[in-house]
């Protein structure tokens, strides 16, 4: 059983010295337990936060713990009355080949579902995040302008397409030409701007001639700097993530920009609200799942996955997520 554990707390970008491979015997289920085989592992930005020993909305990992993560698993052996060998489940077994479970927190999946990995993306935590943050906090109205960064990613792609279904005008921000082309052509956003372009702020302004009514915050940093002056009076800013800060970057700024931010919040009467998806909206998951499954079956939502083959590549894939190398929802395929 290959397991990736936190060996030490990273300084900046995590490396193969911070997260190391340990091998052990495959565990055997006792009475009331089952052995789960990981098929797909979700890699998500929040995992970086769990590696730090800092106060947050959930406790940090301890040194030696297996890296956490959502998984789609197959029941290999069962001593549990409610599960049989071959059942497919949504679990939280982390970066390892096998794990034991007593059933707590598991969700059974339809063994014939066409895209089991979607349970970790479009129909799971990231899709739910985009949907709730946008509809509850952003609440875009017909004709309003919505801007979202990391627009080709798991959360951002859902935000934009749902905003579009609600009749808003949607401008994406993404890193590089390929991602921008995908966002505009396949996801059908009204425009997509490359945040790596030298005149990024000017291009964003041009793409938002009526200003910005909803800015769904995924990245922070330089992107937020370009967005702030474009926000309209009474704009809503769901603060979902600030990935550009997760490795402790952005410390290059010498000027104190807090007065600018607070002054703008006041003068423009902005509504800026953070949220943590399951803590704040957990009870809405069934209604989200139903709605998104319907849109998916009607062909109204597109979803791209970036599937990395092999658990041995997990650290490199995770590093890529924190630097924009992934193109779509990042998933590690661990077994067939
Ligand atoms: P994505 O699939 O969007 O992948 C991350 C993307 O972030 C990268 O592809 C890259 O896109 C962008 N990025 C990475 N590093 C940087 C950087 N230094 N500066 C600017 N952009 C960067 O990930 P998710 O959809 O899973 O997550 C998006 C955001 O949502 C994250 O901030 C995450 O923490 C947050 N989130 C919050 C939740 C909550 O409950 N509040 C729940 C789930 C996610 P590009 O190349 O286009 O720049």
Q: What is the ipTM of this complex?
A: 0.98
The pLDDT score that the predictor gives to residue 304 is: 98
Q: Out of 48, 192, 218, 251, give the residue to mutate to test ligand 1, the one with the largest number of ligand atoms within 8 Å of its CB.
A: 218
DSSP state of 63: T
Which amino acid residue places its CA nearest to atom 16 of ligand 1? 244
What average pLDDT score do residues 52-71 get?
94
Tell me the residue length of the chain.
336
The pLDDT score that the predictor gives to residue 113 is: 87
- The CA 224 to ligand 1 mean position distance, Å, reads 13
Query: Which residues have CB under 6 Å of ligand 1?
Result: 44-46, 125-126, 129, 150, 152-156, 174-175, 179, 195, 218-219, 221, 240-241, 243-244, 275-277, 321-324, 326, 329
The answer to pTM > 0.90 is yes
Which amino acid residue places its CA nearest to atom 38 of ligand 1? 240
Using pLDDT thresholds of 50, 70 and 90, give the confidence band for residue 55.
confident
The pLDDT score that the predictor gives to residue 306 is: 98
- The CA 233 to ligand 1 mean position distance, Å, reads 26
What is the distance between the alpha carbons of residues 335 and 180, in angstroms, rounded to a whole number?
Answer: 32
- The CA 320 to ligand 1 mean position distance, Å, reads 11
pLDDT 10s digits, 92-142: 999 999 999 999 999 999 988 889 999 999 999 999 999 999 999 999 999
- The CA 30 to ligand 1 mean position distance, Å, reads 39
Q: Out of 187, 241, 317, 323, give the residue to mutate to test ligand 1, the one with the largest number of ligand atoms within 8 Å of its CB.
A: 241
> What proportion of the chain, given as a percentage, has pLDDT over 90?
94
Using pLDDT thresholds of 50, 70 and 90, give the confidence band for residue 54.
confident
The pLDDT score that the predictor gives to residue 114 is: 87
Quick check: helix, strand or coil at residue 244?
helix
Using pLDDT thresholds of 50, 70 and 90, give the confidence band for residue 253.
low
Which amino acid residue places its CA nearest to atom 33 of ligand 1? 241
With a cut of 60, say whether residue 250 has pLDDT above it: no
- The CA 152 to ligand 1 mean position distance, Å, reads 10
The pLDDT score that the predictor gives to residue 152 is: 98
Find the helix or strand (DSSP H, E) in which 248 lies: none
- The CA 85 to ligand 1 mean position distance, Å, reads 36
- The CA 44 to ligand 1 mean position distance, Å, reads 8
Tell me the pLDDT of the chain averaged across its residues.
96
C-alpha R_g of the chain = 21
With a cut of 90, say whether residue 278 has pLDDT above it: yes
β-sheet bridge partners, residue 88: 74, 109
Structural domains of the chain, with CATH:
2-120+303-333 (3.90.180.10), 125-278 (3.40.50.720)
**Alpha helix segments (H runs only) across the chain:** 46-50, 125-132, 154-165, 177-185, 200-207, 221-227, 258-267, 277-281, 285-297, 314-321
pLDDT 10s digits, 68-81: 999 999 999 999 99
Q: How many CB atoms lie within 10 A of CB 206?
A: 11
Using pLDDT thresholds of 50, 70 and 90, give the confidence band for residue 225.
very high
* Residue at token pair 């279904």: 165
Q: Out of 324, 327, 328, 329, give the residue to mutate to test ligand 1, the one with the largest number of ligand atoms within 8 Å of its CB.
A: 324
Q: Which of 124, 54, 57 is nearest to 89 (CA)?
A: 124
- The CA 249 to ligand 1 mean position distance, Å, reads 15
Q: Which of 224, 230, 191, 226 is nearest to 210 (CA)?
A: 230
What average pLDDT score do residues 186-209 get?
98
């Amino acid at each position: 059983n290959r397991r990736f554990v936190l060996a030490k707390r990273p300084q900046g970008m995590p490396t193969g010295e911070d997260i190391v491979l340990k091998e052990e015997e495959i565990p055997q289920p006792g009475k009331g337990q089952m052995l789960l085989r990981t098929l797909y592992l979700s890699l998500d930005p929040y995992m970086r936060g769990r590696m730090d020993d800092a106060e947050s909305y959930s406790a940090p990992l301890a040194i030696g713990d297996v890296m956490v993560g959502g998984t789609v698993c197959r029941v290999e052996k069962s001593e549990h009355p409610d599960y049989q060998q071959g059942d497919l489940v949504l679990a939280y077994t982390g970066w390892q080949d096998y794990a034991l479970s007593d059933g707590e927190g598991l969700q059974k999946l339809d063994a014939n579902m066409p895209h089991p990995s979607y349970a970790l993306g479009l129909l799971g935590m990231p899709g739910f995040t985009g949907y709730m943050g946008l509809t509850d906090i952003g609440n875009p109205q017909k004709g309003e302008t919505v801007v979202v960064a990391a627009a080709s990613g798991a959360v951002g792609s859902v935000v934009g397409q749902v905003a579009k279904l609600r009749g808003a005008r949607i401008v994406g921000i993404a890193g590089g030409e390929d991602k921008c082309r995908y966002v505009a052509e396949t996801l059908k956003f009204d425009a997509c701007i490359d945040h790596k372009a030298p005149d990024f702020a000017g291009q964003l302004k041009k793409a938002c001639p009526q200003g910005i009514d909803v800015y769904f915050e995924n990245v922070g940093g330089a992107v937020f700097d370009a967005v702030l002056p474009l926000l309209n009076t009474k704009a809503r800013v769901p603060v979902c993530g600030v990935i550009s800060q997760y490795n402790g970057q952005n410390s290059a700024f010498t000027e104190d920009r807090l007065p600018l931010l607070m002054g703008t919040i006041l003068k423009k009467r902005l509504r800026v609200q953070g949220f943590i998806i399951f803590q704040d909206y957990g009870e809405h998951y069934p209604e989200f799942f139903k709605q998104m499954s319907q849109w998916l079956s009607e062909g109204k939502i597109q979803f791209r996955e970036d599937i990395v083959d092999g658990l041995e590549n997990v650290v490199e894939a995770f590093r890529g997520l924190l630097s924009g190398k992934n193109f779509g929802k990042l998933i590690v395929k661990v077994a067939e």
